[in-house]
């Protein structure tokens, strides 16, 4: 059963004015770890998730090239012109992982499929101080299926692709933590299950 995977990042005594630099650093790390160099879209939420966005801009996909999308710093600057302590700032950026393609009549094959990852920076008063639980910055990776592929026979080829996805996740997590100066991080899921434990069981490395 797939779950939604998140990464939460916290910073000591973070002032709202420092949030743009943190967001830019997190978004900028994707290009070196399987992601696209430019931001697809930006959205600003006031007060809580139940409200309608007060800012929304779709830049388009860069596809890993130089056309389309917005440079992370530009996207952050435009969205955070509306800098309020009860706002949340959401950005979407492309990130590619190995997935098993089974559509059509072709034999199943492994392909690198892009997905949109959401990176959200929280003002300290947004949604009743949601940052305390979710992090000053939260990365929503979407489904954890590519890191487990629980519906796939785990032969040597499949295991290699799953392991590569996991390695890419670990390297990105370390890069955003170091690049943005986070002092605490947590990789977690909606169902509360540990990805590491599920992966260990999946790969058969438990004693």
Give the confidence band of 149 by pLDDT, cuts at 50, 70, 90.
confident
Q: In the prediction, which pLDDT does 73 show?
A: 98
- From the number of C-beta atoms within 10 Å of its C-beta (0-12, 13-18, 19+), residue 105 rates as exposed
Q: How far apart are CA 6 and CA 9, in angstroms?
A: 10
Give the pairing of strands 109-122 and 87-101.
Answer: antiparallel
Helix (H, G, I), strand (E, B) or coil at 21: helix
How many angstroms separate the CA atoms of 121 and 91, rounded?
Answer: 9
Helix, strand and coil content of the chain, in percent to the nearest 5, comes to 30, 30, 35
User: With bands split at pLDDT 50, 70 and 90, how would you rate the model's confidence at 40?
Assistant: very high
Q: What is the CA radius of gyration of the chain?
A: 18
Scan for tokens 């939260």, then name that residue.
138
Q: Are 3 and 30 in contact (CB under 8 A)?
A: no
Contact 43, 53 (CB under 8 A): yes
What confidence tens digit (pLDDT) does each residue in 166-192 have?
Answer: 999 999 999 999 999 999 999 998 877
């Amino acid at each position: 059963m797939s779950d939604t995977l998140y990464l939460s990042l916290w910073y000591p005594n973070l002032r709202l004015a420092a949030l743009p630099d943190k967001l830019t650093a997190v978004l900028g790390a994707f290009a070196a770890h399987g992601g696209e160099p430019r931001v697809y879209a930006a959205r600003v939420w006031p007060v809580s998730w139940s409200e309608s966005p007060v800012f929304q801009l779709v830049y388009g996909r860069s596809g890993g090239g130089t056309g389309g999308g917005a440079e992370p710093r530009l996207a952050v600057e435009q969205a955070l012109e509306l800098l309020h302590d009860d706002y949340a700032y959401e950005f979407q950026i492309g990130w590619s992982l190995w997935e098993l393609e089974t559509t059509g009549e072709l034999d199943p094959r492994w392909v690198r499929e892009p997905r949109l990852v959401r990176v959200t920076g929280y003002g300290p008063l947004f949604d009743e101080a949601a940052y305390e639980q979710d992090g000053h910055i939260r990365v929503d990776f979407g489904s954890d299926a590519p890191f487990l592929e629980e519906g796939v026979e785990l032969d040597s080829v499949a295991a290699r692709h799953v392991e590569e996805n996991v390695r890419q996740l670990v390297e990105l997590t370390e890069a955003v933590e170091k690049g943005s100066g986070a002092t605490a991080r947590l990789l977690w899921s909606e169902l509360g299950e540990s990805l590491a434990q599920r992966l260990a069981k999946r790969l058969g490395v438990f004693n």
